[in-house]
Structure formats: structure tokens, C-alpha cells
Chain A
């Protein structure tokens, strides 16, 4: 039996409204249990609805407007918002953190999304918005979490492990020798969610993207191939992103004379 677009069951607006009743049930539970979350749940749900509907409309012209400058502009906006969000979510930061995280996110996602689009999928030209923008969004969403944990964990290790790091420095360690254990710990923590996800995928969880493709009528083999590709790209991007974020963060917290300047944490 073949798979074709014709078999997609269209979701009616009533179907979407029915799904909203599930969220309202959430809010009611929160109300009964006095969790105080009902307002947050409703606001978050409303935001998700508005943002996704807008995305649905915006993507139509974006997918048709095939100019690399336009795609670059959209990509930069997406990366900037992700960078700002990573700083906002982290408990600690430092002076140039937003700029550093912007560069880290841009570099990590640029390399893998180019590789995925141009080499792995073979899209021509590689920045074709229909492929490039969803790919970038998928990568950014994942690497954002990794970078936030990486930044926060690195600063926490430096802050709370300050005497350990200075103890190593005092015995002739360079800034890198003294802080390498802190970087390793931060990267380990930041990579954990991605590694966990790869471990259980397909057995415990069917990822959102694959589910979407399956419901949208793509054949399971194709959906699985795309999902594998995406998973590996996510893993690579998260690894590059978190390692760079951790190293840049540590470097910013040391001065040129190998002194840990903990007062730079804000």
C-alpha cells in the first residue's frame, strides 16, 4: 500500500479547539490542587497557539521567497532570540555572555545545518528556506537547552569550585589545566538530556518530528531516516555548542594573567 498526501485526515478548527479542552483540564487540576499555575498554563497555551498559527501563515511566503539574504536575515533573528533566551534562563551570566552565546549558537548551528542540508539531504541550493529554516529551528531549540545548561553549570562550577581551581593555579596550573575538570563536568551535564533522548528514542518515545511526519502522511521508513539524520545533527550541534559555550565562559572568567576573576559573574 502506497503512502500519499491524499490520505492525510485534515484537522478541523473544531479538532484544535477540542485539544484546547485538554489544556483547560490542566488548568482545572492546578486550580483544585492550589498549585497556582492556572494563569501560567493558560498564558503559555495561548502564546503557543498564537505563535504557531502565525508561524503557519508566515512560513508560506517565507518558503516562496527564495533569496539567500532573506533566509540569512530570518536565521539571524532566530539565533538572536535563542541567545537572549539562553541568558535569561541561566541563573548566572557575565558581561559579554549574550554576545558570546549568540556567536556560539550561530557557529554551531551554521556548520551542522549546512552539512545536513547541502551534503546529507542534498538540497539545492542548500539554503532553500523550506528545508533550511525548519532544520535550523529544530537544531536551535535543542542546542538552546544545551547551551543554557552549559553556561549555567560552568559558572556554577567556577563559583562554587573557586578554591579548588585556585588551589591548582597556586601549584603552577594554567587557566585551562585548573578549570578543565569544571568544563568537563559542565559539558557532561549539558549533554545528558541529548544522550538520554538518543538512548530511549523509538522504544520509549517517538519524537515530535517523526510523529508529525507520520500523521502528515510520510512513509514510516522516510520519517525514520529523517529522524535519524535530525538526531545525529542535534547531537553534533549540542556537543559543539556546549563545549564552545563552556570554554568561552571559562576563558572570559580568567584574565590574561591566569587569574580567576569571580567578580565578573553577574
Chain B
């Protein structure tokens, strides 16, 4: 198994969002997480990206984040927020910055601009983030994430700001990419993922 999650739980300010969550992901597989709203699906992804404290065991290729180093872990399991932040400068500047992170240096890199071109956002590549529309920013941020060739993409509603045509372009490009999708759209989950699992607050899991 590439990704293994055992007994994951997350508590924010003494409120337990979920506990005893276990699932796994095989090499090259993509998975969609379905759960009622308010479950904390985003928090599941943030735990997987090691961005927040959690209880339980998460391993990628048999190793935990503390064994691989946290920065190296996040390079392998890249989290894409639903609404990307407004970075300083343009997407091109951001791509250069990301390539300069110690964890990325010397790694294979696909020019994000090529991905952006296939998603019809090449024209915004040199424009300030602040001037991008929601859908443009979503695609630009996703293009930079994909350009780093992670082992696993953690996608939080990655097409929520897109129309049907651009959504299809993004889905096409991501088919075959190991990913965990969080989506409220049941039809999309079935379409993009090899498996859909239903999360329940205390332990999982129905497939």
C-alpha cells in the first residue's frame, strides 16, 4: 500500500471532528472521500498533509512524516486548498519560489505553464494573483502543485470554481494521477476516483 491511515482522529479546541478513521490507497490509485457536510473532510486532507496536529498513524510508502522529514513528506503528499490564497506576485513568480524550496531542489519538474496552457489559464501566468478570478486562481495553484510531480495529490474541491468545460479539462489531466479527492459532488466522485469511501464520524468505512 502506498498510503496507509490507521485510527486517525482530529480534535480542534476540545471538539472531536472524527476519530478512528482508517483507510489505505494503492500505488497510482485515486480515492474520493464522501461525508456529510461538517464532518471535517478538509481536516482529513490537512492531517494527511501534516499541516495540523492529529492522533493516529499515517504512512506513505511505509514511512511516517517524522521519518521522512516533514518538508519532504509535504513535497510527496501535496495539499491543494479549495480557495488558493493571494500570493505576492504572479503564478510565474510562485512557481519559481516553490522550485527554490530545499525539499524541491533537484527534483523532476514539469513546467507549470504547460499545464496551465492545457487548462486555458496561460494568459494569467504573468498577472498578479490578486487580479485572478476564483476559477483562474484555482487552476493556476493546481498547475503549480501538479508541476512538482508529487507522489500523491490531496485535492479539496479542486473544481468548485470551474464551469463544466474547464472542469472536464482538469479532470482529464488528473486522470491516472494518484490523488485523494474531497468533493460534495457524488457524480464527480464516481467519475474521477477508482474508489469512493464514505466517512462516518466514529470509524469508517463503507465502500
Which of B22-30, B95-103, B117-125, B192-200 participates in binding chain A?
B95-103
Residues 234-266 of chain A, each 1 if its beta carbon lies under 8 Å from chain B, else 0:
000000000000000000000101111001000
Q: Are A167 and B81 in contact (CB under 8 A)?
A: yes
Chain A residue at minimal CB-CB distance from B97: A168
Q: Chain A interface: which of B46-54, B170-178, B179-187?
A: B46-54
| Cα distance A163–B156 in the bound complex, in angstroms | 14
Contacts of A255 in B (CB 8 A): 53
Say whether A174 contacts B102, CB under 8 Å: yes
Q: Is the CB of B52 within 8 A of A177?
A: no
With an 8 A cutoff between CB atoms, is B75 at the interface? yes
Which chain A positions have C-beta within 8 A of B102?
174, 177
A171 close to B98 (CB less than 8 A): yes
Are A171 and B104 neighbours in the complex by a CB distance under 8 Å?
Answer: yes
- Residues of B with C-beta under 8 A to A174: 71, 101-103
B9 CB, nearest partner CB in chain A, Å: 16
Q: A61 an interface residue at 8 Å Cβ cutoff?
A: no
Contact partner, B104, options A163, A166, A172, A258, Cβ 8 Å: A172
Residue numbers in A under 8 Å from B81 (CB-CB): 163, 166-167, 170
Residue A59, interface by CB 8 Å? no
> Among B66, B83, B101, which residue has its beta carbon within 8 angstroms of that of A171?
B101
| Least CB distance, B2 to chain A, in whole angstroms | 18
Quick check: B51 and A169 within 8 Å, CB to CB?
yes
Task: List chain B residues, Cβ under 8 A from A258.
Answer: 50, 70-71
* 0 or 1 for each of A154-182: is its CB under 8 Å from B? (1 = yes): 00000001011011111111100100010
The CA of A229 and the CA of B51, in the complex, are separated in Å by 47
Q: Are A170 and B51 in contact (CB under 8 A)?
A: yes
Given known contacts A163-B85, A167-B87, A172-B74, A257 and B50 CB-to-CB distance under 8 angstroms = yes
Provide the residues of chain B in CB contact with A170, threshold 8 Å: 49, 51, 74, 78-81, 145
Which of B53, B72, B80 touches A172 (beta carbons < 8 Å)?
B72
A260 cross-chain contacts in B, Cβ below 8 A: 51
Residue of A nearest to B75 (CB): A172
Assembled-state Cα–Cα distance A258/B70 (Å): 7
A39–B99 CA distance with the chains assembled, in angstroms: 58
Cα(A174)–Cα(B72), bound, Å: 9
B159 contacts the other chain (CB 8 A): no
Q: Is B141 an interface residue (CB 8 A)?
A: yes
A167 to chain B, nearest CB (A): 5
Question: Which A residues lie within 8 Å of B88 (CB)?
Answer: 181
> Does chain A have a CB within 8 A of B32?
no
Task: Determine if B84 is an interface residue (Cβ-Cβ < 8 Å).
Answer: yes
Are the CB atoms of B85 and A167 closer together than 8 Å? yes
Q: Name B56-100 residues within 8 Å CB distance of A.
A: 65-66, 70-72, 74-75, 78-81, 83-88, 97-98, 100
Determine how close the nearest CB of chain A comes to the CB of B81; give it in whole angstroms. Answer: 7
Quick one: closest B residue to A174, CB to CB?
B71
Instruction: State whether B101 touches A172 (Cβ < 8 A).
Output: yes
Whole-angstrom CA separation of A172 from B101 in the bound complex: 7
Residues of B within 8 A of A171 (CB): 74-75, 78, 98, 101, 104, 144-145, 148
Q: Mark A65-109, 1 if CB is under 8 A from B, else 0.
A: 000000000000000000000000000000000000000000000
In the bound complex, do residue B70 and residue A257 qualify as a contact, i.e. CB atoms below 8 Å apart? yes
Task: Report whether A169 and B84 are in contact in the complex, using a CB–CB cutoff of 8 Å.
Answer: no
Find out whether the CB atom of A257 lies under 8 angstroms from the CB atom of B65.
yes
Q: How far is the CA of A220 from the CA of B138 in the complex (A)?
A: 63
In the complex, what's the smallest C-beta–C-beta distance from A82 to chain B, in angstroms?
33
Q: How far is the CA of A263 from the CA of B53 in the complex (A)?
A: 12
User: What B residues does A169 contact at CB under 8 A?
Assistant: 51, 74
CB within 8 Å of B: which residues of A? 161, 163-164, 166-174, 177, 181, 255, 257-260, 263
| Besides the known contacts A257-B65, A257-B70, 4 further A-B residue pairs in the complex with CB atoms under 8 A apart | A170-B49, A171-B74, A171-B78, A260-B51
